[in-house]
A and B are shown apart, each in its own frame.
Chain A
Amino acid sequence: MANKKNLLIALLTAGISAMAQEKKDGLITLQLGANDTMHTVTAQVNDLATKAPLKGVEITFYVQRTFGVMKVGNGTTDTTGVITAEFPLSIPAGDTLGNLIALAKVEDNAVINDTIFRATIKTKLSFPAHTPVKAGLISSTPPLWLQLVFWLVVAMVWGSFAYALYLVYRIKASASKKIFINQ
């Protein structure tokens, strides 16, 4: 694709030693890209020591969200140590600047130790979106009818309370004599 743009963003290692001695430490190279409709994320898994591609490593891909991560795909590496997943361009993740963080996670794998790699990509979609959300009950701006009904009800109730207190005042005003207290 002409507009296909691949970016190599980050390489991180996090060698978490596993119980089994025969497991290797892995190196994951994450490559993020995009076509017309989808983001693509490609992971290349190599042995950290020998740099040889590792086959049969199950990887789960996530994107970072505000309070957690969202799974977008998973799979197992082929003989060349490569696995690719796709997720929509309109995925609601990333920040207001359009930075989207993708993660590749290996857990309980027989070949390499548990590890996480992450990469950041600049997307065309900023999130949360800058475009104002249409007014509704669950939006940030209440609709006019709700504001009117809300304040009308509040005014009616508190107005009734005020009137009841006014009647109490009139009770006092309608007393024919002043009452004195004997000491």
Chain B
Amino acid sequence: MEKLSQDIKDRVELELLSTVGRRYRQETFWVIFLALVCIGGTVAWIIQLRKGLGVTAMRDYVSWGLYISLLFFFVGVSLIGALISSILRFSGAKWRYPLIRIAEAVTLSAILFAGFMPVLDMGRPERLYFLITHGRIQSPILWDVLAIGTYFFGSVIFFYLPLIPDVAIMRDKLTDIPVWRKKVYRRLAMGWEGNPTQRRLLKKAMWLMSVVILPVAVSVHTVSAWLIAMTLRSGWNTSIMGPYFVFGALMAGCAIMILIIAILRHGYHLEHYLTPTHFSRLAACLLALTAFYLYLNVNKYGVPAYKMAKDERYLLQDLFTGRQSLLFWFTQVAGLLLPIVLLSFKRIRESIKGVVSVAVMVLLGALINRYLIVVPNMLHPFVPIQHAQPGFASYNPTLIEWMITASSLAGFVLLIILLFKPFPVITMWEVIEGVEKSGEQAVGVEHLSNIQIIQGHGK
């Protein structure tokens, strides 16, 4: 492939840098709105801390409610970083280049809030300290906390590594920014000049992290699954939970990735870089993952339903025809079956609106499915809980819980937006390098030589 001319490279960099630090009206509105939701959730959490978990609907039966359901959702979504940065890297998919930073930002934000959720679930969060001082290494809770912490730290490194050459570009090209930001960029750029030694070292570090992050990511999801699978409860007492969580996570991560790149493409005018090719490729991934997840669901629910063993019966009846049936069948039909049918049509896979609509369905199904994994199973213990009041045998989240849950989701989105304020959305150097090596088509970008510069920094 031919090298891009310096003029085109400069234009690409200028266009991608134009989003850095720039204010968009819609974005500002959403930042304020999400921040207000976060403040509301913080107030609710303070009330919960002052008055205790009695202000929630969690009682003897359901001791893990919305908070832990959301933990599993965030843990799931965070797998997208490993999918894009590691799995697609080793599969040689060049179209991943424009998606890498977005995927890592989603991962970073998701795993950070995943770490918060167990703290929110604790009536006495300061007791988390005892997990460090008195932790038992044979406990899945300790494994989970350690795995989430490790994955977070690894994701920070993985977010940072491809950022180094881009920060160097920002250091050199963003001339009209405050001095403190220049200093920050200078420090983060680590003296990057792009010489062969630096390139070799960076590639080596990125390769190493790609290798390490994959087992770490899989272990985070598997260990989260073990949190429940190693508990003797109907619905949880199954060996399928590990892969069930991992593939559910890949599916949810893929769906949220589609949604977020659609928002960024529209909001930041990145039509040249986030093209129908990316949506189509991600849609193909989503189709495969959704189909496989449906297969896992058939195993998870179908096999025990065939036997209808005494202990499982009440749970399954609750899911199939009882109180939870509406949610259950929504996740199975609207969240899995219908997306598979829709994504089977090439016309829908190649339509951005079609792919985004399907991704919303899958994501909603995945979110509800996390609730169904946690709550109905807790309502049907093997041994009935003694002396529990009749009201304890159902779970209707309180306003406090909804507010904290909503603020966690808002915080997750807000952090992604904020991560793209000081840094470009697209990894500039990798896209340019990818186009030079493999061509625009392979990377999935369009018309780089005809870019119309959007008002930005620089000349």
Q: A-side interface residues toward B, CB under 8 Å?
A: 68-69, 137-140, 142, 146-147, 150, 154, 157-158, 160-161, 163-165, 167-168, 170-172, 174-179, 181-183
Q: Is the CB of B205 within 8 A of A168?
A: yes
Q: Is the interface of B mostly helix, strand, loop or mixed?
A: helix
Are the CB atoms of B154 and A181 closer together than 8 Å?
Answer: no
Which residue of the partner chain, among B190, B212, B387, contacts A161 with CB atoms under 8 Å? B212
A164-B208, A164-B209 are contacts. A171–B138 as well, Cβ < 8 Å? no
Q: Does any Cβ of A come within 8 Å of B137's Cβ?
A: yes
Q: Which residues of A lie under 8 Å from residue B138 when comparing CB positions?
A: 137-139, 142, 146
Contact partners of B353 in chain A: CB under 8 A = none
Q: 19 additional contacts, CB 8 Å, given A154-B146, A157-B212, A163-B208?
A: A150-B137, A158-B150, A161-B212, A164-B157, A167-B208, A168-B160, A171-B201, A172-B190, A174-B191, A174-B197, A174-B198, A174-B201, A175-B192, A175-B193, A175-B195, A175-B198, A176-B193, A177-B193, A181-B182
How many angstroms between the C-alpha atoms of A68 and B60 in the bound complex? 13
Chain B positions within 8 Å of A154 at CB level: 146, 150
Q: Which of B137, B160, B183, B186 has the most CB of A within 10 A?
A: B137
Q: Which of A165, A171, A182 contacts B202 (CB 8 A)?
A: A171
| B interface bracket (residues with beta carbon within 8 Å of A) | 35 or more
Closest beta carbon of chain B to A148's beta carbon, Å: 11
Q: Which residues of chain A come closer than 8 Å to B137, judged between CB atoms?
A: 142, 146-147, 150
- Give B154's nearest chain A residue, CB to CB: A161
Check: B204 CB closer than 8 A to any chain A CB.
yes
What chain B residues lie within 8 Å of A142 (beta carbons)? 136-138
* Docked CA distance A178–B172 (Å): 13
State A21–B315 Cα separation when bound (angstroms). Answer: 43
Cα distance A157–B212 in the bound complex, in angstroms: 7
B386 within 8 A of A: yes
Chain B residue contacts of A150, Cβ below 8 A: 137
| 5 A-B pairs closest in CB distance | A175-B191, A167-B205, A172-B190, A142-B138, A160-B212
Residues of A within 8 A of B406 (CB): none
| Closest A residue, CB atoms, query B190 | A172
Question: Hey, which chain A residues are within 8 Å of B190, CB to CB?
Answer: 168, 171-172, 175
Expressed in whole angstroms, the minimum distance between the Cβ of B1 and any Cβ of chain A is 26
16 A–B pairs (Cβ distance < 8 Å), ordered by A: A68-B387, A138-B138, A157-B150, A157-B215, A158-B150, A164-B208, A164-B209, A167-B201, A167-B202, A168-B164, A168-B205, A170-B201, A171-B198, A174-B201, A175-B193, A179-B171
Once the chains are docked, how many angstroms separate the CA of A51 from the CA of B183?
93
What is the CA–CA distance of A150 and B197 in the complex, to the nearest angstrom?
36
Contact partner, A164, options B146, B161, B175, B191, Cβ 8 Å:
B161
Q: Are A179 and B191 in contact (CB under 8 A)?
A: yes
- For B193, the chain A residues whose CB sits under 8 A away are 175-177
**A140-B211 Cα distance, complex, nearest whole Å:** 34
Q: Is the CB of B205 within 8 A of A164?
A: yes
In the assembled complex, which residues on chain A have CB atoms less than 8 Å from the CB atom of B205?
Answer: 164, 167-168, 171
The answer to whether B386 touches A69, judged by C-beta atoms less than 8 angstroms apart, is yes
List the A side residues contacting B146 at CB < 8 Å.
154
Q: Does B179 contact A (CB under 8 A)?
A: yes
Least CB distance, B167 to chain A, in whole angstroms: 12
Q: B153 interface residue, CB < 8 Å from A?
A: yes
Q: Which residue of B lies closest to A143 (CB)?
A: B138
| Distance (whole angstroms) from the CB of B81 to the closest CB of chain A | 15
- Tell me the B238-275 residues at the A interface (CB within 8 Å): none
A172's partner among B136, B153, B160, B191 (CB-CB below 8 A) is: B191
Is B216 an interface residue when CB atoms closer than 8 A count as contact?
yes
A164-B157, A183-B179 as given contacts; A176 in contact with B195, CB under 8 Å: yes
Q: How far is the CA of A181 from the CA of B157 in the complex (A)?
A: 25
Contacts of B201 in A (CB 8 A): 167-168, 170-171, 174
B208 pairs with A160, CB closer than 8 A: yes
Q: How distant is the Cα of A157 from the Cα of B215 in the complex, in angstroms?
A: 9
Residues on the A chain within 8 Å of B154, using CB: 157, 161
Q: Please, which residues of chain B bring their CB within 8 A of the CB of A176?
A: 193, 195
B residues 267-313 with Cβ under 8 Å of A?
A: none
The smallest C-beta distance from A154 to any residue of chain B, in angstroms, reads: 7
- B136's nearest neighbour on chain A, judged by CB, is A142
- Determine the distance from Cα of A139 to Cα of B136 in the docked complex, in whole angstroms: 10
Interface string of B358-388 (1 = CB under 8 A from A): 0000000000000000000000000000110
**List of B residues within 8 angstroms of A177 by Cβ:** 193
Which residues of chain B are within 8 angstroms of A163 by Cβ–Cβ distance? 208
Set of chain B residues within 8 Å of A157, measured between Cβ atoms: 150, 154, 212, 215-216
For B195, B211, B212, B216, the residue with the greatest tally of chain A CB atoms inside 10 Å of its CB is: B212
Name B368-426 residues within 8 Å CB distance of A. 386-387
B191, B197, B386 pick with most chain A CB within 10 angstroms: B191
| Cβ–Cβ < 8 Å partners of B183 in chain A | 181
Residue of A138, A163, A168 most packed against chain B (CB within 10 A): A168
Q: Which residues of A contact B198 (CB under 8 A)?
A: 171, 174-175
Once the chains are docked, how many angstroms separate the CA of A147 from the CA of B192? 41
List the B side residues contacting A158 at CB < 8 Å: 150
A172 to B215 CA separation, bound complex (whole angstroms): 29
Chain B residues, CB < 8 A from A165: 157
How far apart are the CA atoms of A172 and B204 in the complex, in Å? Answer: 15
B387 → chain A, closest Cβ, in Å? 7
